[in-house]
Chains A and B, each alone.
Chain A
Amino acid sequence: MSSSVYVAGIGVISAIGNNVPQHLASFEREEAGMCDISLFDTTHSKKLPVAEVKLDNKQLTAITGLPDDTSRTALLSLIAAKEALTDAAIPGFDTLRSGFVSANSVGGMDKSEAFFVDFLANNNKGKLRNIYDHECGSMTEIVADQLGISDYMTTISTACSSSANAIFYAARLIKNDVLDVVIAGGADALTKFTLNGFNTLMILDKELCRPFDEHRAGLNLGEGAGYLVLVSEKVANKLSKGLYCRLSGCHNNNDAYHQTASSPDGTGSYLAMKGALEKSGLVPSEIDYINLHGTGTPNNDSAEGTAIKRLFDPKCPPMSSTKSFTGHTLGASGGIEAVLSVMAIKHKIIYPNLRFETPMNDLGLVPETKFLKNQNIDHVMSNSFGFGGNCTSLIFSRI
């Protein structure tokens, strides 16, 4: 029960790259991934910047070999999950109890939207193939089948903290000796549904987002997928290839304040960060970098900032929101940012928080604005907070 869980492989796709090396290069160049919307026709075109993966569905199906009508969410998921599994290069993988725990927020909604246009006009119309995989679980199943994983799979959906919870749950499946190795993370494609949903909430910035800045005006939606390969101590000992790090602490709390808004004092985020620290046996001063949830909305950033101050004052660790590069990838964000946190430890780097100018009033927090190399990064905290008050923090530690 008390054995450690290790990270043996990573995979990621987002607006700033189709794999891990491309992400590293984009960060080094300080190049964000936002652009105009090209994936679908929308009245918000050219008005709201989004962070699209720079491959269209045709290219994604060609790379993955999946059928043409596959949801973009499953396509993105497969690319990142495969990269992670290949990277882990676990000998005798077939002989281990393996699992796939994936997260997303709207399943095959990109296809359901197409179905719905015809269906609404006439309930006997609409291509059934487009609605067949509407369920969130379908995305996971499609990818698990491709990865050849059948011992265990499940899907988690807790809005924007979904894939952090997938990683947390996967780690517990290993600790409870249910599985030996789990690919865990999440995926979400941009959809008209989410774009319009967030637009009705008036939390989309018409400019590029400015997380943690006093003049921030909202988030930019993004898309992508990010996965870790988590292994038990027993499997870790057998690997010839080095491990990335240890998943040393995870904690999940609920803000219990409002369906979408965070409490002003960031109760949920505070409890999640504090709980993760306790589980990892660390004190606040030992955290070397925080990968912020940092969406760029006035509400999230002030709640998260307040919670960080409360926990880390007087000395807050270096922090940044990589959403200033990738946009907010919703159900994928916890997975993508977990990968980035792991990379921060491996490459001893801190990512810049782009477009930051003015610290938030009363908080005075100044995120890192430059790409920093050769940093002493032993412990990284990754925050993911979502609608419904779902708050989760993960801590990764150098071995």
Chain B
Amino acid sequence: MKIYIRSSSCISPQNTFGTENFFDDIVEYNGTRLKAIEPEYKEFIDPKLIRRMSHIIKIGVAAAKDCLNKGNTEMPGAIITGTALGCLEDTVSFLTHMVEQDEELLSPTAFIQSTHNTVAAQIALMLKCHEYNNTFVHKGISFESALLDAIMLLKENVANNILVGGTDELVDASYTVLTRLGLYKRWPVSNLSLFSTESKGTIGGEGAVFFLLTDKSSDDNLAELNAIKTFYKPKDIKASIISFLEENSIKIEDIDLVINGRNGDTRNDEVYKKLGLSIFEDSALANYKHLCGEYPTSSSFALWLAANIIKKGAVPDVVIEKGNNHLIPKKILVYNHYLNKYHSLMLVSAI
């Protein structure tokens, strides 16, 4: 069975939403925190509901609705989301009130919306969609788990159109905590020169990216999703990548572009550097985390990028690490790792 990406929608710290532009208008950030650019929500969400929704719910629901619109689909056969940290704004809000008000006179709204499945639930509620609904919350492979679930559902012939997405938000508290944990650089940096200075730490990001997966072929489909695989603490990632390619009967030479998860942190990027000197030595390479920031479901941004590069037949200059911009990729490998614990591979090709 072939699985296609029928449509996709991406809300990110770049102008990726509601525009046909493909990085013609790049947003530069000076700091270590990239915030998702909020669209005009009322086109996608009932204005009465917008006020009550937190940031992640709004970007999630808007991206989901836009993705369905683009795929000319009113009702998906399943809704699946991946989020590592879930609804942080509401979680922090409820925790704060609980501590500050000594457990008295708390409002239920933040608690109700703090559960990790809120985005998937709100999409179902908005669409009145009674079909399969699930939420994965496993760190750097939350989105990949959701994607695997969607692929299995298609193979099981349970549904023909599946809405699957990755959402995570960065709030003040999590940004502060993650900075203290050493995830981010200690001084401001331009995201557009993230890879030019060798130092520890990366920049934080967030976003909501949704895909409509289908088993029906159509000229309108963006790309084919050939395969996905995740690894936990792989002993030899090079060998894992090689066997993944073998399982899919392709050679490294067949890959036109490798989108990798470099994030500007020397420790993190060591893994990509080594591979760039070995199996990816002759490959064209692209980066994306300078555009959306590092976050656990950022691979959803990478998949959106891959699908759009294939559909548009062009690689934006801003993502090129190595190779030339005249390339028209037919086959793209997305390789990301999160904190060198969770690694994932996604193979996408032209329809």
Contact = CB atoms under 8 A, between A and B. Distances in A.
Interface string B220-254: 00000000001011000000000000000000000
A318 interface: no
Contact of B84 (A105, A119, A137, A389): A137
B134 A135 contact: no
A187 interface: no
A192 interface: yes
A200 interface: yes
Question: Which residue, of B94, B142, B173, B177, has the highest number of chain A Cβ atoms within 10 A?
Answer: B177
A140 B145 CA distance: 14
A184 to B, nearest CB: 13
Contact of B138 (A134, A137, A200): A137
Contacts of A257: 125
B116 A136 contact: yes
B180 interface: yes
B118 interface: yes
For the complex of A and B, the 5 pairs showing the least CB-CB separation, nearest first, are: A388-B121, A197-B111, A200-B108, A157-B116, A137-B139
B27 interface: no
Contacts of B125: 256-259, 389
A140 B138 contact: yes
Interface residues of B, number: 58
B273 to A, nearest CB: 25
Contacts of B230: 152
Interface stretch (A14-22, A124-132, A220-228): A124-132
Contact of B134 (A117, A165, A178): A165
A154 B141 contact: yes
A368 B104 CA distance: 38
Contacts, number: 173
B117 interface: yes
A267 interface: yes
Contacts of A9: none
Interface in B288-335: none
Interface in B111-153: 111-118, 120-122, 124-125, 127-139, 141-142, 145, 148-149, 152
Interface of B: 79, 84-86, 94-96, 98-100, 102-104, 106-108, 111-118, 120-122, 124-125, 127-139, 141-142, 145, 148-149, 152, 155-156, 173, 176-177, 180-181, 230, 232-233
Nearest to B234: A150
A252 interface: yes
A188 interface: no
B124 A196 contact: no
Given A157-B116, A386-B117, A123 B130 contact: no
A389 B139 contact: no
A86 interface: no
A390 B156 contact: no
A136 B100 CA distance: 25
Given A135-B84, A200-B106, A389 B111 contact: no
A259 B142 contact: no
Nearest to B178: A131
27 contacts: A105-B116, A128-B177, A134-B85, A135-B137, A140-B138, A141-B139, A151-B232, A154-B141, A156-B136, A157-B137, A158-B116, A158-B120, A169-B149, A173-B152, A178-B148, A193-B94, A197-B112, A197-B114, A201-B108, A254-B129, A254-B132, A255-B130, A256-B128, A386-B117, A387-B117, A388-B121, A389-B133
